[in-house]
Amino acid sequence: MDKNSVGIVKTQYFECCQPPQELKLKGGQRLGPITVAYETYGNLNNQKSNAILIFHALSGDAHAAGWHEEAKNPGWWDGMIGPGKAFDTNKYFVICANVLGSCKGSTGPASINPKTGKPYGLSFPVVTIEDMVDVQKLLIDHLGIKKLLSTAGGSMGGLLALKWSVLYPETTASVITIATNHRHTAQQIALHEVCRQAIMSDPDWQGGDYYGKSIPARGLALSRMIGHITYMSEKSMDEKFGRKLIGKEKVGYDFTQDFEVENYLKYRGDSFVQRFDANSYLYLTKTLDYFDLAEEGDLVSTFRNVTANFLVISFSSDWLYPSYQSTELVRALKANDIDVSNIEINTNYGHDSFLVEIEGQSKLISHFLTRLEKKHL
Amino acid sequence: MDKNSVGIVKTQYFECCQPPQELKLKGGQRLGPITVAYETYGNLNNQKSNAILIFHALSGDAHAAGWHEEAKNPGWWDGMIGPGKAFDTNKYFVICANVLGSCKGSTGPASINPKTGKPYGLSFPVVTIEDMVDVQKLLIDHLGIKKLLSTAGGSMGGLLALKWSVLYPETTASVITIATNHRHTAQQIALHEVCRQAIMSDPDWQGGDYYGKSIPARGLALSRMIGHITYMSEKSMDEKFGRKLIGKEKVGYDFTQDFEVENYLKYRGDSFVQRFDANSYLYLTKTLDYFDLAEEGDLVSTFRNVTANFLVISFSSDWLYPSYQSTELVRALKANDIDVSNIEINTNYGHDSFLVEIEGQSKLISHFLTRLEKKHL
């Protein structure tokens, strides 16, 4: 544990939407009760004006920083959150909640449906980014916070930050989006669809009704392998693996894994199966594909009521959410006279940069937040 | 059938490597007898100096041009081969053979092993690009051709053209490589590995022993879906599909296919299952990954005995075989004082450009071949 760690942390649970106060979902159905797993780091000030809400990505969770008791690794954004770090817990109260539909403590398809006493499986409704935001708004209300200093998220997290800014414009002073866009393109949908087909083609998936039986491990692992390729860049893969063989001098001319990159993907796929639910993966990818921030009109007018300052970060080697997609956001924000800083960080790490490119992001985010403090703290 | 078609054509079969004259494979094993499916278009001149050998890509076949009796579509490169076309059959004798290891008429894992009377399945040896080239050299010998006017191929076909130029430098006056490279990078290997895992994770694959039983249709279809994404560009996918829905005004919030791009991939996956053998897909992708033109040293010295003229074509939007990989080839060729023309065609079609971008390729190839004729015809 480094000296700038937030230390040992525990996930907390917020219960809401008890019937008959179920959450009304965008798809028309009602859902409740809902559990929201969340963590907080730092202290909320007396004015409750120093809170920052972090949104995680597709396979992320509420454990963004610090260490769980006896864990081998810290939270997923530990390099960014802590005393003296980009999200400086000496100054800010940082919150991160697991999204609705996930499997990391918040209610999702693997949760028990109180009406049947069995896991929801595919009877869980398809939730949207809007529904996820609505649930986290209930958490923020519960914590007594009227206005956030900032909302921030990379990849899927960026979609939540964008949607929050449009749904609840008066509740955040700023928005930080990283490696994201305002709606999925055909290629992004296509990549998700093959991931879904990988899971649904696994006979063990059984229409989503596999809880307590064999899980669709092969399908989920395959799905994650595909994902991993899209998270890296051609260059970072080549630098990390090239054509290196596993414990061999020459290729073997057979079908066992020969190349290190094959082994790495297999390892990442298999370890994902230990930590994520296949149905949640299906639901969350669908949620991302359905998301269209400008569904009610054009992107410029979508931002018409937004007053928050924006920091829009993208990465030069990210081919999954290429920089031009961030530029589209910036153009629409500027057309509304919104204060927006837009930076493309030059890096080889591809889409994964939002998780690993700590130094460049930290500088930008520290600077952006310090500028805001003067107005809002 | 357009007026510049080569008309109705028939696939022919060349039998070779009858025991005890089996082909000695690079992997050490011996294979025979071997059948080579091939087609020819145009007429061989008296000097036998006007022959061009075309190499097909991963899922291609010997049927490059013209029409089979009662077929709905012409050969895969019909736009490029015919009277007055890039490979002008009024002037040239064009040959295309199905590669060893495929399932389109030449010997491969789905062929009957004469020793057992059953399909080879995984007992088929892993063949290399070198082995494929050796077999096609036997065909060219059989046709009585001492020196080809040109060899040409896109994607995997480009690897065969490169290997031919190094293995049999005196037997071709020129080489045309399109959208290819001299060895696979980690990303290319990774993408193939997920395709292979998709097939091998399908319980119907049964270790490759599925002939006469249920074929691994889901795995093979999934594998092809992944492939298709890599053959297109982000832009061409967006232009073709965008976020268009299938027969709906709004998204359905369920797991059926909603977006046209999902349906298209499903269709391409399912139709591939009708026309290709899963084991051949495994073998050919492995063959591609193992290929390393410079395995015996550096790329520059690999070309030291090559005298052929080169035309190296790449496409601006091809992210599977990016243009910089063609540039690497060109640099090594030039270091050997080889006459090489290098053109990147500006197009949105991605890797598929070598199949669909007919106009630009035709101009370059016609010009290149006309220049050669003066010396060699």
Q: What's the pLDDT band for B366 if we cut at 50, 70, 90?
A: very high
Asked if A292 has any chain B CB less than 8 Å from its own CB, the reply is: yes
Residue A377 pLDDT grade (very low, low, confident, very high; cuts 50, 70, 90): confident
Q: Is the pLDDT of residue A250 over 80?
A: no
On the 0-12 / 13-18 / 19+ scale of CB atoms within 10 A, A207 is exposed
Q: Would you place residue A239 in the very low, low, confident or very high pLDDT band (cuts 50, 70, 90)?
A: very high
| 3-state DSSP percent of chain B in helix, strand and coil, to 5 | 40, 20, 45
User: Looking at B111, B155, B223, B314, which residue is catalytic?
Assistant: B155
Residues A327-344 have a mean pLDDT of: 98
CA A90: distance to chain centroid? 24
**A chain contacts of residue B218, beta-carbon cutoff 8 Å:** 201
Residue B257 pLDDT > 80: no
Strand B30-31 to B340-345 pairing: unpaired
Cβ within 8 Å, pair A265-B193? yes
Question: What pLDDT sits at residue B119?
Answer: 98
Say what the pLDDT of residue A240 is: 97
Q: Which residues in chain B have Cβ-Cβ distances shorter than 8 Å to A296?
A: none
What does the pLDDT look like over B263-319, one tens digit per residue? 999 999 999 999 999 999 999 999 999 999 998 889 999 999 999 999 999 999 999
Handedness of CA B85, B166, B317, B76 (dihedral sign): positive
How far apart (Å, rounded) are the C-alpha atoms in residues B63 and B39? 6
Q: Where does the pLDDT of residue A373 fall: very low under 50, low under 70, confident under 90, or very high at 90 and above?
A: confident
Take residue B38 and report the two structure tokens written for it: 């091939």
pLDDT of residue A133: 98
Nearest to A282 among B222, B255, B290 (CB): B255
CA distance B174 to B185: 26
Cβ distance of B189 and A259 shorter than 8 Å: yes
Q: Is A259 on the interface with B (CB under 8 A)?
A: yes
Q: Is residue B318 annotated as a catalytic residue, yes or no?
A: yes
CATH class of B12-184+292-376: alpha beta
Q: Under CATH, which architecture does the A188-286 domain have? A: Orthogonal Bundle (1.10)
Q: Is 80 exceeded by the pLDDT of residue B114?
A: yes
How confident is the model at residue A31, as a pLDDT? 98
Catalytic residue list contains B339? no
This prediction has a pTM of: 0.96
Cβ-Cβ contacts under 8 Å, B191 against chain A: 229
- Average pLDDT in chain B: 96
pLDDT value at residue B296:
80
Q: Given pLDDT bands bounded at 50, 70 and 90, which one contains residue B256?
A: confident
pLDDT at A270 over 80: yes
pLDDT of residue A293: 97
Q: What integer pLDDT is reported at residue B255 of this predicted model?
A: 76
- pLDDT value at position B247? 81
Mean local confidence (pLDDT), A78-87: 98
Residue A375 has pLDDT above 80, yes or no: yes
| Banded model confidence at residue B375, pLDDT cuts 50, 70, 90 | confident
Task: List, as ranges, residues 192-221 from B with C-beta within 8 Å of A.
Answer: 193-194, 196-198, 200-203, 218-219
Q: What are the residues whose beta carbons fall under 8 Å from the beta carbon of B126, sequence distance 6 or more?
A: A253, A254, A255, B27, B283, B286, B287, B290
| Dist CA B30 CA A11 (whole Å) | 62
CB contact under 8 A, A229 and B187: yes
The per-residue pLDDT for B260 is 95
pLDDT digits (tens, 9 = 90+) for A96-117: 999 999 999 999 999 999 999 9
Selected catalytic residue, list B56, B236, B351, B353: B351
Percent of chain B with pLDDT over 90: 93
Question: Among candidates A107, A168, A166, A162, which has minimal Cα distance to A137?
Answer: A168
Interface test mutation site (partner A, options B128, B251, B266, B328, max chain A beta carbons within 10 A): B251
Structure confidence at residue B10 (pLDDT): 98
Task: Say what the pLDDT of residue B376 is.
Answer: 82
What torsion do the CA atoms of A218, A354, A136, A330 make, to the nearest 10 degrees?
-120
Overall average pLDDT of the B339-350 stretch: 98
Determine the CATH number of domain B189-286: 1.10.1740.110
Please report the pLDDT score of residue A75 as a whole number.
98
**Is A318 tagged catalytic?**
yes
Query: What is chain B's Cα-based Rg?
Result: 21
Q: Which of residues 176 through 195 in chain B touch A, CB cutoff 8 A?
A: 183-187, 189-191, 193-194
Tell me how close the Cα of B20 comes to any Cα of chain A, in angstroms.
Answer: 23
Q: How far apart are CA B185 and CA B289, in angstroms?
A: 8
Say which of A126, A128, A191 has its CB closest to residue B229.
A191
For residues B135-153, average pLDDT:
98
Per-residue pLDDT band for B142 (boundaries 50, 70, 90) equals very high
| 8 Å CB contact between A234 and B187 | yes
What does the alpha-carbon distance between residue B277 and residue A291 come to, in Å, rounded to a whole number?
A: 38
| Mean pLDDT taken over chain A | 96
pLDDT (0 to 100) of residue B252: 73
Q: Does A267 touch chain B (CB under 8 A)?
A: no
Instruction: Flag whether pLDDT at B13 surpasses 80.
Output: yes
The nearest alpha carbon in chain B to A29 belongs to B253
Angle at which helices A278-290 and A129-142 cross, to 10°: 100
Beta-bridge mates of residue B201? none
Chain segment A21-33, per-residue pLDDT in tens: 999 999 999 999 9
State residue A257's pLDDT score.
Answer: 73
Name the minimum distance, in Å, from the CA of A185 to any CA of chain B.
6
Per-residue model confidence as pLDDT tens digits over B15-60: 999 999 999 999 999 999 999 999 999 999 999 999 999 999 999 9
Any idea where the domains of chain B sit in the sequence?
12-184+292-376, 189-286
Residues of A in contact with B256 (CB under 8 A): none
- Nearest-Cα residue of chain B relative to residue A296: B250
Tell me, yes or no, if A222 comes closer than 8 A to chain B by beta carbon.
yes
| CB-neighbour burial class of residue B235 (10 A; exposed 0-12, middle 13-18, buried 19+) | middle
Tell me: pLDDT of B251 over 80. no
**ipTM rounded to 2 decimals:** 0.95
Q: With beta carbons under 8 A apart, name residues in chain B contacting A225.
A: 190, 193-194, 197
CB contacts, 8 Å: A202 with chain B = 201
Q: Looking at residues A276-303, what average pLDDT do you find?
A: 96
Q: Which residue of B has its CA nearest to A207?
A: B255
Least confident of A155-169, A326-340, B234-248: B234-248
